[in-house]
Amino acid sequence: MGPSVSKCIICDDVLRNSLATYCRRCGNIMARVETREKAELAARVNALRKAWDKEDKCFRCYYSGIRLNDDNVRDPRYITFDLTALRKGAVLVVTAALIHEMKADLSEDEFKAIITQLAQHFTANSPVDQAIFQLEHYKR
């Protein structure tokens, strides 16, 4: 019996070598992040699997759906892990570097509330409710 043909556990692409778990692209993404616990590793793999767009062969941002860049850390669309989800045991997701910076350490609900109110303020000049700035995790 010859060795079985295996594929990347994230995107089903060809493995970077016969002993690898990932393809070259996914291996590079995983190599750039420091993961100490098995559960966190599984969460990262899961986040990447969910973000993978089989048809367009790319990762997509959880918050915006935009195509993420996975090989240029200077690109505002560069793929990042939103680790704030780990805090509450919520699901880990990937997002664009710029959106990650905008979201900071807000929860998903807090982030959406602020972005939505800002958008309404920008488009319809409606007042922003100051109550949305009572944030659970914002610490400076």
Site residues for Zn ion per CB under 5 A:
8, 10-11, 13, 23, 26
- Considering beta carbons, is residue 33 or 104 the nearer one to Zn ion? 33
- Considering beta carbons, is residue 10 or 97 the nearer one to Zn ion? 10
In the complex, least distance from residue 31 CB atom to Zn ion, rounded to whole angstroms: 12
CA distance 58 to 1: 34
In the complex, least distance from residue 10 CB atom to Zn ion, rounded to whole angstroms: 4
CA angle 140, 72, 89 (to 5 degrees): 45
- Three-state SS for 58? strand
CA distance 54 to 57: 5
- Considering beta carbons, is residue 48 or 114 the nearer one to Zn ion? 48
- Considering beta carbons, is residue 10 or 92 the nearer one to Zn ion? 10
List Cβ neighbours of 23 (8 Å cut-off, separation of 6 or more). Answer: 7, 8, 10, 11, 13, 14, 15, 16
